[in-house]
Amino acid sequence: MGREVWFSEWQTDDVKLSLRVKAVLWEEKTPYQELLVVDTDAYGRVLILDGAIQTTERDEFVYHEMIAHVPLSIHPRPRRVAVIGGGDGGAIREILKHPEVEEAHLVEIDERVIAASRRFFPAIAAGLDDPRVTIHVTDGIRWVAEEARDFDVIIVDSTDPVGPAENLFGEPFYRSVAAALGPDGILVAQSESPLLEPELVRRVQRGLRAVFPVVSLYTAAVATYPTGLWTFGFGSKGPRPPRPRPDVARFATRYWTPAVQEAAFVLPPMVEELTR
């Protein structure tokens, strides 16, 4: 019998998600984290950082479409957009579908994530060479505080709130993001599973409320993330969710549509209570 190799993400001490591995494509200890790329039958190629699944070929579109199109379709004219984290390039690829976008900045602390994505996930990294894109390999907290001004949309596509991303989940960072946004500016930040991390979801909502006049939350179903139900915090200086503006461009998507977006802001009580 052939040998079976499995990758398991320990989602909690008591729960793991295991994928049978066809091949280990890359393994590296970067200055910031353990980076692993495996190929699987179930989800295609999978990018894993410090043991946590970030991106799979089969379901990445859900998360990347929802983190990008929601703020970009609500902002009246998103010309300057930044992604904090998101070194795989998936959010950038979606942002570039909006013809209003003139500049898309990727601010990734770990250059090795970008390199691995270019090499093993060319379809996800595809947008990174677009002339509208500028890549900044630096600490997102420092970049937002010192270099970012007059952005229309800032997207926080971070890892879990442990390790390098820890300080991306809190009021001080959101304050600094607000200062880097123009008058109609919108911040969207991935905010983890409401079933597994209710206190984190609450903390993000509280932090956003302390800074932004318009605050909300929406969900999406991401198969390979813990519990499958994922949240995104939404903070805005003016534009209100959930509706996309009527003139939003048409482009191909597999999860996001204007109707899905509106529905994504309708919250089950167990999620709604985390926004109060």
Instruction: Tell whether residue 37 is a contact of ligand AG3 (CB under 6 A).
Output: no
What is the rounded CA–CA span in Å between residue 169 and residue 162? 10
φ/ψ (deg, to 5) at 59: -120, 5
The CB-of-213 to ligand AG3 minimum distance in angstroms stands at 27
Residue nearest to ligand AG3 (CB): 52
The CB-of-225 to ligand AG3 minimum distance in angstroms stands at 5
Instruction: Tell whether residue 191 is a contact of ligand AG3 (CB under 6 A).
Output: no
**Which tokens sit at 130?**
């677009």
Measured from the CB atom, is 210 or 223 closer to ligand AG3?
A: 223
- Which residues are CB-contacts of 250 (< 8 A; sequence separation ≥ 6)? none
Instruction: Tell whether residue 160 is a contact of ligand AG3 (CB under 6 A).
Output: yes
Query: Binding ligand AG3 by CB under 6 A: which of 226, 233, 235, 241?
Result: 226
Percent of the chain as helix, strand, coil, to the nearest 5: 30, 30, 35
The residue to which tokens 């109609």 are assigned: 184
Measured from the CB atom, is 163 or 242 closer to ligand AG3?
A: 163
Which residues form the catalytic set?
Answer: 157
What is the rounded CA–CA span in Å between residue 138 and residue 251? 31
The CB-of-2 to ligand AG3 minimum distance in angstroms stands at 28
What is the rounded CA–CA span in Å between residue 260 and residue 258? 6
* Structure-derived torsion over alpha carbons of residues 63, 145, 106, 35, reported in degrees to the nearest 10: -70
Instruction: Tell whether residue 82 is a contact of ligand AG3 (CB under 6 A).
Output: no
Query: Binding ligand AG3 by CB under 6 A: which of 190, 191, 231, 261?
Result: 190
Instruction: Tell whether residue 197 is a contact of ligand AG3 (CB under 6 A).
Output: no
Instruction: Tell whether residue 94 is a contact of ligand AG3 (CB under 6 A).
Output: no
Instruction: Tell whether residue 185 is a contact of ligand AG3 (CB under 6 A).
Output: no
What is the rounded CA–CA span in Å between residue 267 and residue 34? 35
- Site for ligand AG3, rule CB under 6 A: 9, 52-55, 86, 88, 90-91, 157, 159-160, 190, 225-226
